Amino acid sequence: MQILKLAFGCVWLSLLCAVPSVSQQVAFTFDDLPAHGDLPPGETRLEVAESILHTLHEQHMPAVYGLVNAGELEKNPEEIAVLNAWRAAGNPLGSHTYTHPSLNELTPQQFEADIAKNEPVLSKLMKGQDWRWLRYPFLLEGDTLDKRHAVRAYLQQNHYQIAQVSLDFGDYLWNAPYARCMAKKDEQAIETLRASYLAAADQYITVFRDLTHTLYGRDISYVLLLHIGAFDAKMLPELVDLFRRRGFTFTTLPEAMKDPVYRDDPDMALKYGGAFQEQVAAARHVKFPPNTKPYKELEAACR
């Protein structure tokens, strides 16, 4: 009997050892093309985009989706150069709606019309490639179930997939303070912004991984939300390096979204929306891990 137990134990151990480890993968994505946030003095939207594209090339990143609000081109038609540069660099485009509205404030029909209005620009620039990815503005998927169901039905009927977010550290919060500090040429304040940006990114990698392990017992293929902002452009080389040091490899949005967890639909009306795991956690009554963001410090920076 003892020999049998020992033999069974050896077999069990060998099976455990044979299970392949799942590497931590992340797809970087950028919202609000062609324009996001305040600009430092003398910097243009195209220069921000070119800086990001240069880093993506230098870091040998796979194709990175930019999610577009084409309504910006009505006010600033010259910013089509940003979208052209994104495509010329070999990176794809998807939809972030035409005017970046909150679904909480619209009917489903109004929201769907805003999605449809974005399509001519995407269809022209993508030339038959896959642009039917939709990221909800503010990550709001419906504050009523009727809205959530209606918009999801529309997306399915029109062959869209939802570009979910599963890693988010509020990167957009740093762009306005950076523009102010650049205007004041306050290098010490900019260094403080740099440190807090990386600290927040590092913290939220842990936060979202911990929540993901609680919900699914493993890492998933993550999708990182970033914005096409000036400080994002400045920090991108260090951000990529941080993810590498944390053990991540890089993938594309379509590949990441093949992870079966993304078929999980919380099917809840959520007034404040949230990243994918936040929605699932709310549906399962799981608490979001403790976390902090330096809101007050960023608001006060270079005032």
pTM, 2 dp: 0.92
Q: Which is higher by pLDDT, 79 or 21?
A: 79
What is the Cα–Cα distance from 165 to 229, expressed in whole angstroms? 18
Of the candidate ranges 13-27, 55-69, 205-219, 223-237, the one whose mean pLDDT is the lowest: 13-27
Q: How confident is the model at residue 4 (pLDDT cuts 50, 70, 90)?
A: very low
The 10s digit of each residue's pLDDT in 29-49 is: 999 999 999 999 999 999 999
Q: How confident is the model at residue 211 (pLDDT cuts 50, 70, 90)?
A: very high
pLDDT, average across residues 285-297 = 96
What is the Cα–Cα distance from 229 to 43, expressed in whole angstroms? 11
Which pLDDT value is given to residue 8? 35
Which pLDDT value is given to residue 23? 73
Which pLDDT value is given to residue 11? 37
Cα dihedral 45, 39, 276, 148 sign: negative
Which pLDDT value is given to residue 43? 97
**pLDDT of residue 16 exceeding 50:** no
pLDDT, average across residues 172-187 = 98
Tokens describing residue 97:
């709606």
What is the Cα–Cα distance from 219 to 211, expressed in whole angstroms? 10
Q: How confident is the model at residue 73 (pLDDT cuts 50, 70, 90)?
A: very high
Max mean pLDDT among 10-14, 17-21, 53-57 falls in 53-57
Q: Contact at 8 Å (CB) between 232 and 266?
A: no
Q: At what angle do helices 80-88 and 45-58 cross, to 10 degrees?
A: 10
Helix (H) or strand (E) holding 194: helix 187-216
Q: Contact at 8 Å (CB) between 136 and 94?
A: no
For the chain, the 3-state helix, strand and coil shares in percent, each to the nearest 5, are 55, 10, 35
The 10s digit of each residue's pLDDT in 251-288 is: 999 999 999 999 999 999 999 999 999 999 999 999 99
First to last CA, the chain: 76
What is the Cα–Cα distance from 83 to 91, expressed in whole angstroms? 10
What proportion of the chain, given as a percentage, has pLDDT over 90? 92
What is the Cα–Cα distance from 71 to 98, expressed in whole angstroms? 5
**pLDDT of residue 20 exceeding 60:** no
Burial class (CB in 10 A: 0-12, 13-18, 19+), 277: buried
- Ramachandran angles phi, psi of 222, nearest 5°: -85, 155
Q: How confident is the model at residue 6 (pLDDT cuts 50, 70, 90)?
A: very low
Question: Across the strands, what pairs with 248?
Answer: 24
Q: Which of 29, 93, 34 is nearest to 61 (CA)?
A: 29
